[in-house]
Structure 1
């Protein structure tokens, strides 16, 4: 049977999505099966459940706006690097599409009233009464740390919904990487627009991120009973309190550092 806006909303409520909450969604809509209306119906179902006082948040990252020297899938020839750095369009939150984030993220960032943070590499978009407060002031350095939308979500006791994806897609766990002792750092780069509308390439130093450990952290979260597991449409769905997940991951990562050192 095809899934509908109404049936998806019922599934989301049964999973535990709360009216009036702030919800960060990571989604692979292919996993949901056939949905009448596709991504539009999914977005409508999410907003139906959240209600007018709820806020929907999605990652709108731009992985291709990054230093080509670090590209691995696929790598590009070294003599291309200066051309890419010199010619890539500067990030424009109103125009630049997200990459590898999926159809739902693209739809949400283009909704009337949606707001998007202005980080050239790891932006987020949000729609709802908390949207501006979540995306404003996204710092270039420590891009998923204390001056990022992830920290604003933490302050608001947001929930995280993994819709058809696993814990390796749970961006919130990166906040825990910033909160572990002495995280390693690396140089990153991206093309930005200046206040005058000119593009330029900028460099900054940031924490080395590693999502390879996230499935293990997620499995332990589930074993501890911290994740609600169900189905939305035909796909697996996981719902968790972001603050609980980040705190758990911080303890896990801190213990790992101590074991290795």
Structure 2
């Protein structure tokens, strides 16, 4: 007879989240690995509901969604392939565009959750639900979508936090904001096009970002190294949520640490 799983309930998740310091009224960005959490009764929906229960309607839940079909590498395609895609690719529609698959199943469940809002950037979009959701997702700049005025910037402005719910520490999207803010020489810039909706019609727009597909400069560093060194300072908290080793960080403080870490190693004159 196969071993039966050790079921995890919504109530247990709520208690674990509260033990980690998550509480009513917080603005919380979440990265997750549903598999790491364990055998949750009700699956991803139960995890989302537990988060919302702890935050209450006074709080806000946010996740990095992106767009699975974003054509960020068209310049590398043959001309005929580019022309066909340019004609046939649907416009990014925040109501229906699929989340990036690699971000995990929880993100796709969350972006379709009743009442969830989503920002208009076709590649860097965030979904949010709660008291600050409308402000977080509004007016997402098309240029440098991880930078000033972005939902990541606003998360810091609100005094929000980042929860790594079993997700690897090298996936902390907030540190792309630190890369944007850090004064570093010769940052890599990526220019590409994406189709968006304008007055109900598909329009291709030019976008520009610091290239986050790898490090933004010619240097070898990892986000998990930055996060672990931050934890070594005594900041941040860790605990099990379900079966998942999880961490929570104050967004603005981690971003500041990331900026100083990058500039201290790779900044001008170093």
TM-score (norm 2): 0.89
Distance 2:30 2:22 in 1: 11
Query: Conserved in 1, the CA contact under 8 Å of 2:178 and 2:255?
Result: yes
Aligned length: 256
Choose the corresponding residue for 2:226, options 206, 217, 223: 217
Q: Which moved more, 1:36-45 or 1:76-85?
A: 76-85
Aligned equivalent of 1:170? 172
Shift of 1:164: 1.2
Contact 1:4 1:35 (8 Å CA) reproduced = yes
Counting only pairs closer than 5 Å after superposition, residues 108-187 of structure 1 correspond to structure 2 as: 108-182=110-184, 183-187=187-191
Q: Contact (CA 8 Å) 2:183, 2:267: kept in 1 or not?
A: no
Out of 54, 57, 74, the position equivalent to 2:62 is 57
Q: Are the equivalent residues in 2 in contact too, given 1:61–1:121 (CA < 8 A)?
A: yes
The corresponding residue for 1:103 is: 105
User: Are the equivalent residues in 2 in contact too, given 1:91–1:192 (CA < 8 A)?
Assistant: yes
Correspondence 1:1-261 to 2 at 5 A: 1-69=6-74, 79-100=80-101, 101-182=103-184, 183-195=187-199, 197-209=200-212, 210=214, 213-258=222-267
Does the aligned pair in 2 maintain the 1:85–1:190 contact within 8 Å? no
Q: Distance in 2 between matches of 1:168 and 1:82?
A: 35
Contact 2:69–2:98 under 8 Å retained in 1: no
Whole-Å separation in 2 of the counterparts to 1:165 and 1:30: 10
SS at match of 1:173: helix
CA distance in 2 between partners of 1:232 and 1:32 (Å): 7
TM-score, reference length from structure 1? 0.92
Aligned-partner SS, 1:120: coil
Question: Could you list the runs of 5+ residues in structure 2 that have no partner in the other structure?
Answer: 1-5, 216-220
Distance 1:253 1:112 in 2: 39
1:37 aligns to what SS in structure 2? coil
Q: Is the 8 A contact 1:188 1:205 kept in 2?
A: yes
Q: Which runs of 5+ in 1 are unaligned?
A: none
Partner Cα separation in structure 2 for residue 62 and residue 115 of structure 1 = 15
CA deviation map 1:195-217 (0-9, x unaligned): 2x121322222212246621111
Whether contact under 8 Å (1:68, 1:81) holds in the other structure is no
The Cα of 1:167 is off from its aligned counterpart by: 1.8
Q: Which SS does the other structure have where 1:187 is aligned?
A: strand
